[in-house]
Amino acid sequence: ALDFALARLSPGEASLEAQEIATEPLSLVVRRGHPLLLQPRITVDDLLRHDWVMGDDETLLTQTVLSRLAELRLPIPQRRISTSSFLFTLALLNQTDAIAPLATPVVDSLSGNPSVPFVSLPIDLGLTVASFSIVTRGGTQLTPAAQRLVDAILTLADIRPASAQTYA
């Protein structure tokens, strides 16, 4: 039996408890030297003139981007390249003027190294993927080893244990 998982839950998940750990902000990423980086101010129209590299419409990241654009009453990118491959996304970014929404922590770890050819665009559309949580089976107690691991994860995430939310 599974003790716990790091996952995202939708309402309606049966008999599971979820303790939120964090949300996942997204950044719009381009290659170093991208023409948009030369502009003093980047607009949404500027973004929409470029190809966007994203997954299929069913993927969480793509749904997040499209939902946020709709929420802001902005048009969706018409020039989209669909791929589920992170490596192909990076290759396209490196070889073209495409834009890709990627997890900000991943981008930050990459862009801190000047030899890495990717940077975030200086525009914030408020893109944030749904929270992920520590998920356990409702009404069960973790083994001591699993509890120590969960406590270590919560400490690293700088979260004190709190009451979990139950989805029924």
pLDDT, tens digit, for every residue of 99-154?
999 999 888 887 777 888 999 999 999 999 988 889 988 888 899 999 999 988 88
The dihedral region occupied by 12, where left means phi > 0, alpha psi between -120 and 50, and beta the remainder, is: left
Q: Looking at the predicted structure, is the pLDDT value of residue 92 above 90?
A: yes
The encoded tokens of residue 37 equal: 């980086």
> CA-CA distance, 45 to 47, in Å (whole number)?
5
Q: Is the pTM of the predicted complex or chain greater than 0.85?
A: no
Q: Which domains does the chain have, with CATH numbers?
A: 4-21+130-167 (no CATH), 23-126 (3.40.190.10)
